[in-house]
């Protein structure tokens, strides 16, 4: 289930951006065009870790897709950063329909380094971990959970500035309601997954948690699974260390098996009842 494509097709998103393995590029392009979209390729690949990825810009008009391509040229991941990077990122966010507050929060992290929690702190942290620490709130809204994007479980495709950001929640709820009207069982299954507490480690490994009634102890932990049933080995290794761990009021996870700093952090997307959130 592709929530982002569903939202784009229904007019809830002005455009989408896709990263694709170069070997899969012709198939994905053809699939997107068959749905009536205009699709443009970035002129260079993006470098995500050790992987080279093609980038596609999908819009309703060639002008919109070209504006996205031009905005990201010079700030593609792994390809350096243009002098006007902040304005380029603002343009990308606007063209993709992201909340401006969430874009500005990203620019703050970009300025200090997306791999560090503080400007003078250590680098090398996973961007997902840093973004999660910055967006953390005691009662996170599951609709804006971005931490399961690697397994394609999401309603949004950006990092929210806070996990209770009203604008981000509004966008996510519109997508959720659309999916629920068309595929109620799929929407319920997706929300059940997004509503789980998630632990994320400094290296980006993550685990789905089951907490006790006090939301303070990890009873069970499991690695998120892709559609083929497989999990990232790093996620599985993290889950093995989390059973019995304690979760602090600020989200910090402590256990004898977790001795490194910075600490593993928990975002409790399941702390508020589903009935209250989604009815």
The CA distance from 41 to 276, in Å, is 42
* Burial bucket for residue 30 (CB in 10 Å: 0-12, 13-18, 19+): exposed
How does residue 279 score in pLDDT terms, banded at 50, 70 and 90? very low
pTM of this prediction exceeds 0.95: no
How does residue 258 score in pLDDT terms, banded at 50, 70 and 90? confident
Query: What is the arithmetic mean of pLDDT over 45-68?
Result: 92
| DSSP SS3 for 91 | helix
**Residue 226: predicted pLDDT:** 87
**Residue 261: predicted pLDDT:** 79
Q: Is the pLDDT of residue 126 over 90?
A: yes
Query: What is the arithmetic mean of pLDDT over 208-237?
Result: 93
The position carrying tokens 């602090």 is: 248
Q: Is the pLDDT of residue 202 over 70?
A: yes
DSSP string across 116-144: -SSTTS-----HHHHHHHHH--SS--GGG
R_g of the chain computed on alpha carbons: 19
Looking at residue 247, the DSSP 8-state letter turns out to be: E
The CA distance from 208 to 235, in Å, is 9
The CA distance from 176 to 97, in Å, is 16
The CA distance from 189 to 253, in Å, is 27
Query: Domains of the chain (ranges plus CATH)?
Result: 1-97 (3.30.2190)
Query: What is the arithmetic mean of pLDDT over 121-141?
Result: 94
- What percent of the chain is predicted at pLDDT more than 90? 84
**Residue 271: predicted pLDDT:** 67
- Backbone phi, psi, residue 4, to 5°: -65, -45
How does residue 272 score in pLDDT terms, banded at 50, 70 and 90? low
Q: What is the tens place of the pLDDT at every residue in 153-186?
A: 999 999 999 999 999 999 999 999 999 999 999 9
* Interstrand relation of 246-247 and 218-222 (parallel, antiparallel or unpaired): unpaired
Cβ atoms 166, 99 nearer than 8 A: no
Query: What is the arithmetic mean of pLDDT over 71-88?
Result: 89
| DSSP SS3 for 59 | strand
Q: Is the pLDDT of residue 278 over 70?
A: no
Cβ atoms 41, 28 nearer than 8 A: no
How does residue 47 score in pLDDT terms, banded at 50, 70 and 90? confident
H-helix or E-strand containing 15?
strand 15-20
Q: Is the pLDDT of residue 222 over 60?
A: yes
Query: What is the arithmetic mean of pLDDT over 207-215?
Result: 95
């Amino acid at each position: 289930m592709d929530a982002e494509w569903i939202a784009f097709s229904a007019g809830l998103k002005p455009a989408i951006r896709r990263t694709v393995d170069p070997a899969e590029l012709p198939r994905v392009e053809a699939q997107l065009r068959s749905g009536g979209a205009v699709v443009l390729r970035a002129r260079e690949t993006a470098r995500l870790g050790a992987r080279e990825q093609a980038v596609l810009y999908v819009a309703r008009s060639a002008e919109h897709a070209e504006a996205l391509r031009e905005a990201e040229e010079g700030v593609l991941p792994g390809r350096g950063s243009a002098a006007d990077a902040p304005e380029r990122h603002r343009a990308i966010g606007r063209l993709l329909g992201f909340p401006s507050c969430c874009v500005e929060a990203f620019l703050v992290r970009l300025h200090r380094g997306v791999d560090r929690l503080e400007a003078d702190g250590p680098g090398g942290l996973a961007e997902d971990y840093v973004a999660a620490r910055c967006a953390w709130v005691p009662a996170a809204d599951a609709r804006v959970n971005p931490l399961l994007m690697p397994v394609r479980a999401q309603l949004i495709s950006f990092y929210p500035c806070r996990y209770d950001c009203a604008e981000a929640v509004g966008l996510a709820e519109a997508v959720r309601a659309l999916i629920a009207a068309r595929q109620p069982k799929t929407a319920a299954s997706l929300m059940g997954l997004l509503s789980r507490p998630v632990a994320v480690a400094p290296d980006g490994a993550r685990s789905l948690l089951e907490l006790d009634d006090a939301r303070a102890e990890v009873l069970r932990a499991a690695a998120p699974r892709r559609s083929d049933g497989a999990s990232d080995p790093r996620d599985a290794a993290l889950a093995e260390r989390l059973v019995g761990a304690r979760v602090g009021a600020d989200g910090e996870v402590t256990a004898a098996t977790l001795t490194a700093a910075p600490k593993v952090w928990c975002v409790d997307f399941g702390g508020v009842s589903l009935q209250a959130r989604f009815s």
